[in-house]
Amino acid sequence: MITVCNQVLAALCIAAVLLLATGAGAATTEADATVRERMNEGDITVVYRAGDARVATRVLEVAASRGSAAARQAGLPELGPVVIYVASTDEEFRALTYGGVPDWGAGCAFPERGVVVLRNPAAAPDPLRMEDVIVHELGHIAAGRVLKRVHVPRWFHEGIAMTLAGEWRLPRSSALVGASASGDLIPLGELAVVFPPGAADAMLAYSESFYALRFLMEEAGPATPAEILSAIAVAGSFEAGLRILSGRTLEDFERDALASFEGRFGWGVFLTRWNVMFGVVTLFALIGGAVRIARSRRLLREWEAEESRRSNGGLQRGRGSDSGWN
């Protein structure tokens, strides 16, 4: 999972990052005091420990190759200057983010400062997922630069970053299916500032954020991420931009977005979508056919057994009569 650091921690985090970058402060151990190295391509700079040069090279490659595409989708001609810090250890990651990221978090972005902090990708179980994390964080930077100082809900910021990174994943749909069926969807209003700390609840929060953004794009046209961001930036506030894009107040939009999840992922989908309904009918037909075949085979076995008993009984009776003739 990934996150954009909240504004309360941002100043502290960036202060720590800048001090660490120059080796001038926040160094409490000998390891923290070691000199950091840098590599860059264009406007993107990666800061890393000497032992992480190979990882840093890959981070730079991904950021340079995919960051520009994310920026264009956001409506920017180019991404602009970005500094990416690669934390060598979990302890260093927590120090650079001042503990602002949960244990499952893999990255943190500070859009106003153009800074990204990454947990060491070398320790990630899924390297391809870490590539998405890098682009996701750059998506936060790009969106923040379009929005400038317009404050947006956390769910919107995560949803737009996921969209810019192309982060559709089946587990996200699965999470919404389960939550829609059980009535456990999280109201978007509860995701305006922070996300749940638990990994499972956070997965659901990210899933809802992604599909809430999709819902907004559909309601607004369909509109592109760049058009969504531009409208909100021009309006000067999220609520005003949302009303222009969807014709709804924030409260109404959050309610309707949740209802759209239930329509898209709830049990009602089986009754409203002909292709799903056809699949269900076909499945039941196959199950019914299998049951009928099994029943027929069972009856056939019973008839054969009964016929065998009758034949054996008649043979035994015939043999008895024959023996009585002697």
141-178: per-residue pLDDT in tens?
A: 999 999 999 999 999 999 999 999 988 765 567 778 88
pLDDT value for 174: 77
- Total Cβ atoms within 10 A of residue 96: 25
Which of 214, 246, 267 marks a domain boundary? 267
**What is the average pLDDT across 191-209?**
92
Nearest to 93 by CA among 112, 82, 107: 107
Where is average pLDDT lowest: 13-22, 63-72, 86-95, 166-175? 13-22
Lowest mean pLDDT among 30-44, 217-231, 270-284: 270-284
The least confident of 103-107, 269-273, 308-312 is: 269-273
Residue 309 lies in a domain: no
Whether residue 145 is found in the same domain as residue 208: no
Residue among 117, 111, 51, 54 at smallest CA distance from 80: 111
Residue 108 is assigned to a structural domain of this protein: yes
Looking at residue 322, what is its pLDDT?
38
- Residue 183: is its pLDDT beyond 70? yes
Indicate if 135 and 242 belong to the same structural domain: no
Number of domains in the chain: 3
- Residues 127, 199 share a domain: no
Query: How high is the pLDDT of residue 302?
Result: 57
Tell whether 144 and 2 lie within a shared domain.
yes
**Same domain, yes or no: 145 and 155:** no
Average pLDDT, the chain: 79
Provide the CATH number for the domain around residue 2.
Answer: 3.30.2010.30
How many CA atoms does the CB half-sphere of 177 hold within 13 Å? 7
Q: Are residues 113 and 183 in the same domain?
A: no
pLDDT digit string, tens, across residues 241-297: 999 999 999 999 999 999 998 877 865 444 444 444 455 445 555 665 565 566 556
C-alpha to C-alpha distance for 20 and 301, rounded to whole angstroms: 80
Q: 39 lies in which domain range?
A: 1-149
Do residues 235 and 174 share a domain? yes
Report the chain's terminal Cα–Cα distance, integer Å: 94
| pLDDT score of 3 | 57
Among 149, 174, 205, identify where a domain stops: 149
Beta bridge partners, 323, equal none
Looking at the domain assignment, is residue 323 inside a domain? Answer: no
Instruction: Evaluate whether residue 315 is within a structural domain.
Output: no
pLDDT value for 167: 83
Residue 62 in tokens: 């991904």
Is the Cβ–Cβ distance between 95 and 16 less than 8 Å?
Answer: yes
- Give the sheet arrangement for strand 107-110, strand by strand: 3-4, 107-110, 115-118, 82-86, 44-48, 37-41
- Max avg pLDDT among 57-66, 126-135, 198-207, 283-292: 57-66
Is 308 among the domain residues? Answer: no
Beta pairing partners, 47: 38, 85
Check residue 183 and give left, alpha or beta (phi > 0: left; psi -120 to 50: alpha): left
**Is pLDDT larger for residue 36 or for residue 216?**
216
Residue 299: pLDDT band by 50, 70, 90 thresholds? low
Q: Is the domain of 131 the same as that of 184? A: no
How far apart CA 204 and CA 236 sit, in angstroms, is 29
Per mean pLDDT, which range of 110-119, 217-226, 264-273 is the poorest? 264-273
Residue 37, strand partner residues? 48
Angle between helices 238-246 and 250-265 (to 10 degrees): 50
Domain match, 73 and 142 both: yes
Residues 89 and 187 in one domain: no
* Domain assignment of residue 42, yes or no: yes
pLDDT at site 215: 96
Q: Which of 149, 180, 202 is the last residue of a domain?
A: 149
Structural domain includes residue 102: yes
Q: What does DSSP say about strands 107-110 and 115-118: parallel, antiparallel, or unpaired?
A: antiparallel
Gap between the Cα atoms of 264 and 306, Å rounded: 54
Residue 144 in any domain: the answer is yes
* C-beta of residue 282 within 8 angstroms of C-beta of residue 275: no
Query: Does 165 share its domain with 83?
Result: no
**How much helix, strand and coil, in percent to the nearest 5, is found in the chain?**
65, 10, 25
pTM: 0.73
Instruction: Verify that 187 and 244 share a domain, yes or no.
Output: yes
Which amino acid is residue 272, in one-letter code?
Answer: T
Residue 155, burial from CB neighbour count under 10 angstroms (0-12, 13-18, 19+): buried
C-beta separation of 67 from 116 below 8 A: no
